[in-house]
């Protein structure tokens, strides 16, 4: 029983140490890079517009098709699947306000992205095309939107999945609508990034921990087996010694009885046999 308890203690200790390593690793998220979206192509009419490097600002005419190339890049250390899609936005009191989630409107329904899902390896960049088809009867108004790049994390223990996204704003006047005045051009940036943090255990870490737990259990069982084998051998030797002792006593008593019946006085000094030296019969009995 005490050996079983020792084995259980060893196994539980190994699992507890491994679980502690998992907890420590998971509780300290570290930055592993970023994923971002940027303008990959500035069209000729907008070359001299300082905002064209960060925003989609082309004036669109009714009945025309506007195509522009954008780019997704991955500077993280892991492969990422990125979804791109258009989202609605408004411009009120000189503030740019985005819609909820993937909410769209009539303007965003005219935007097509191809492809709309990109898988990027570490340090890889891929481009996609944004096409805006302006209806022939489009009103001369200002339109707003966002081209989003979205990355989903893995679900945590509670089943909650984190979603991160970053986007490029769309400020486009349609037809004869007045130009859009952006309140603070100083906020213009050439990159839009999501900083990625690894808050979950990597596959390699999980595999390593599983292997360590498996080896701990195997070694514990091996230790327990050898301990039981050693105890069994000692028990066998003690039992064999008792049998030899009993045989020696019976033989001694038998000889004394014979000598007594024959009227002899035993002058032989009997000596106990060595318990670790066996004759052929003893070896066979063993």
More confident residue, 23 or 92: 92
Q: pLDDT of 158-215, one tens digit each?
A: 445 567 888 999 999 999 998 887 755 544 444 566 666 654 445 556 667 778 888 8
List domains and CATH numbers for the chain. 1-29+200-286 (no CATH), 30-198 (2.60.40.10)
Instruction: Please report which residue ranges of 118-202 form alpha helices under DSSP H.
Output: none
End-to-end CA distance of the chain: 28
Least reliable range by pLDDT among 98-107, 127-136, 226-235, 272-281: 272-281
Chain segment 77-91, per-residue pLDDT in tens: 888 899 999 999 988
pLDDT tens string 202-226:
555 666 777 888 888 888 878 877 7
Kindly indicate the confidence band of residue 154, based on its pLDDT and cuts at 50, 70 and 90: low
Nearest to 53 by CA among 71, 33, 66, 35: 71
pLDDT digits 0-9 by tens, 219-252: 887 887 777 777 777 777 888 888 888 888 888 8
How long is the chain?
Answer: 286
DSSP 101-123: TT---TTGGGEEEESSEEEE-TT
Torsion angle defined by CA atoms of residues 128, 134, 140 and 141, in that order, rounded to the nearest 10 degrees = -40
Do residues 85 and 102 make contact, with C-beta atoms less than 8 angstroms apart? yes
């Amino acid at each position: 029983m005490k050996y079983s308890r020792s084995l259980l203690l060893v196994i539980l200790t190994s699992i507890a140490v491994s679980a502690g390593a998992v907890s420590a690793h998971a509780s300290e998220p570290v930055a592993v890079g970023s994923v971002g979206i940027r303008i990959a192509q500035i069209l000729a009419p907008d070359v001299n517009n300082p905002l064209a490097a960060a925003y989609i600002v082309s004036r669109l005419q009714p009945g025309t098709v506007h195509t522009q190339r954008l780019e997704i890049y991955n500077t993280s250390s892991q492969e990422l699947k990125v979804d791109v899609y258009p989202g609605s936005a408004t411009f009120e009191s000189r503030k740019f306000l985005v819609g909820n989630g993937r909410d769209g409107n009539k303007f965003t329904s005219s935007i097509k992205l191809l492809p709309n899902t990109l898988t990027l390896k570490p340090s890889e960049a891929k481009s996609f095309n944004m096409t805006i088809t302006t209806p022939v009867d489009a009103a001369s108004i200002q339109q707003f939107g966002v081209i989003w790049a979205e990355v989903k994390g893995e679900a945590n223990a509670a089943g909650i999945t984190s979603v991160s996204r970053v986007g490029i704003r769309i400020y486009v006047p349609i037809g004869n609508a007045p130009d859009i005045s952006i309140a603070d051009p100083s906020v213009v940036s050439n990159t839009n990034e999501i900083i990625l943090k690894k808050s979950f255990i990597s596959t390699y870490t999980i595999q390593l921990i599983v292997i360590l737990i498996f080896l701990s259990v195997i070694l514990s069982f091996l230790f327990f087996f050898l301990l039981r084998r050693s105890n069994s051998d000692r028990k066998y030797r003690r039992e064999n010694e008792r049998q030899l002792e009993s045989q020696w006593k019976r033989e001694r008593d038998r000889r004394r009885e014979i000598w007594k019946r024959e009227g002899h006085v035993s002058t032989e000094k009997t000596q106990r046999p060595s318990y670790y030296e066996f004759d052929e019969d003893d070896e066979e009995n063993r």
